[in-house]
Amino acid sequence: MKYDLLHIEVQKFIRDFEGNITELALKGSPFENVEIKDLLIQIESRRKAEKKLPTWLETENVYYPPKLNLEQTSSEITAEFKATLVEGKLLADITGGFGVDSFYFAKKFEKVFYFELNEELSKIAEHNFKALNVENINCHAENGLTEVKTNVFDVIYADPSRRHETKGKVFFLKDCEPNIPENVSELLLNCKLLLIKTSPMLDISVGLSELKHVFQIHIVALNNEVKELLWLLKKDFEGNPKIKTINIKSEESDIFDFEWNTNSEAVYALPSRFLYEPNAAIMKSGAFEQISEAFKIKKLHKNTHLYTSESLREFPGRRFVIDKVLPYSKDALKNNLQNKQANITTRNFKETVAQIRKKWKISDGGNVYLFFVTDLEENRVVLVCSKI
Report residue 263's pLDDT band, with 50, 70 and 90 as the boundaries.
confident
251 pLDDT more than 90:
no
Letter for the amino acid at 108?
K
Per-residue pLDDT at 234: 96
221 pLDDT more than 90:
yes
Mean pLDDT for the chain overall:
94
Check if the beta carbon of residue 104 is closer than 8 Å to that of residue 83.
yes
With vertex at residue 133, the alpha carbon angle to CA 128 and CA 137, rounded to the nearest 5 degrees, is 70
Q: What is the pLDDT of residues 108-152, one digit of tens each?
A: 999 999 999 999 999 999 999 999 999 999 999 999 999 998 899
79 pLDDT more than 70:
yes
Per-residue pLDDT at 346: 97
Letter for the amino acid at 239?
G
Cβ neighbour number for residue 335 with a 10 Å cutoff: 10
Per-residue pLDDT at 170: 59
Q: What is the DSSP string of 103-150?
A: HHHTTTSSEEEEE-S-HHHHHHHHHHHHHTT--SEEEE-S-HHHHGGG
Per-residue pLDDT at 30: 93
Cβ neighbour number for residue 35 with a 10 Å cutoff: 14
332 or 169: which leads in pLDDT: 332
**% of the chain with per-residue pLDDT over 90:** 87
pTM above 0.85, yes or no: yes
Report residue 67's pLDDT band, with 50, 70 and 90 as the boundaries.
confident
165 pLDDT more than 60:
no
